[in-house]
A = this chain, B = another copy of it.
Amino acid sequence: MSLHHPLDDATQLNLRADGILTGTTSDAYWNMAGPFGGVTAAILLRGVLDQPERGSDPVSLTVNYCGPIDRGPFDVRVRRVRAGKSTEHWAAELVQERGTAAIALVICGRRRQVWNHQPATPPRTLPPAKLAALEPVGPMQWLRRYRFRFAEGGLRIGDRASLEKAAPAAARSVVWFEDVPARPLDYVSLAALSDAFFLRILHVRSYLVPVATVTLTTYFHADPATLRAHGEAPVLGVADAQVFSSGFFDQTAQLWSGERLLATSTQLVWYRE
């Protein structure tokens, strides 16, 4: 893997003399008023992956987005909460002068050869080469770090005044993702991808409203060999929502490699409408 991919730069952490990991926000993944949340998730995961005592690979990541992240340096404070035979529990916080901006719980677990079963099936779609890529517009740099090809439920953003009386559109979308530039898939990029779906309210309302993810949980179902075998190929994503209520909505997602479910994810998003 190239050490100079922008995602590796954005998630790079250095060990300071006092034992705390430190990093710096990346302009390459900047969103509107702060970093793309997927990179924040990837940074906190990487804080755990970088621990020398870690003995197994990630199975679960929950990130709570607590406050704004300012452009510039941050600390990542990592703690092993408890370790057992099958699982290790870690906590990680991204801290700046204003306090904790994001807090994560990470579980690493020993995968074993056991009975496997996958009730979920991927959607049937056209291959990515047959679908047009989204043309990134606007100032959000993170949109330029992915190639999005919608196979179902594409994003159309229009004028609020003419759309707010319209019936809600479908929350579900199916999209092919690729890192730009290409990068072999690993847990760090999978964590970022699990937050790379557009927030469902944009699909449902088709105009811009204030939104912010408050918490994201991703379960990693793929072992390292499956991720290596996937390589740099596009990942197929499916996202949906169940309910928008009183200023918070949920969002669910799947990430697929061919017939295999790599990760499933859920998030809760604050919105104003």
Q: Chain B residues with Cβ under 8 A from A272's Cβ?
A: 112, 114
Find out whether the CB atom of A116 lies under 8 angstroms from the CB atom of B217. no
Question: What residue of chain B has the Cβ atom nearest to residue A240's Cβ?
Answer: B119
Given A82-B67, A109-B270, A247-B111: A242 touches B62 (CB 8 Å cut-off): no
Known: A84-B67, A105-B64, A215-B107. A242 touches B116 (CB 8 A): no
Contact of A103 among B81, B87, B240, B243 (CB under 8 A): B81
Interface string of A149-185 (1 = CB under 8 A from B): 0000000000000000000101100000000000000
Of residues 56 through 100 on chain A, the ones whose CB sits less than 8 Å from some CB of chain B are: 59-60, 62, 64, 66-67, 81-82, 84, 86-87, 89, 91, 93, 99-100
Central interface residue in A91, A105, A261, by most chain B CB within 10 Å: A105
**Contacts A62-B217, A217-B62 known; A242 to B119 CB distance under 8 Å?**
yes
**A residues lining the B interface (CB < 8 Å):** 59-60, 62, 64, 66-67, 81-82, 84, 86-87, 89, 91, 93, 99-101, 103, 105, 107, 109-120, 168, 170-171, 204-205, 214-215, 217, 219, 221-223, 240-248, 250, 252, 254, 261, 264, 266, 268, 270-273
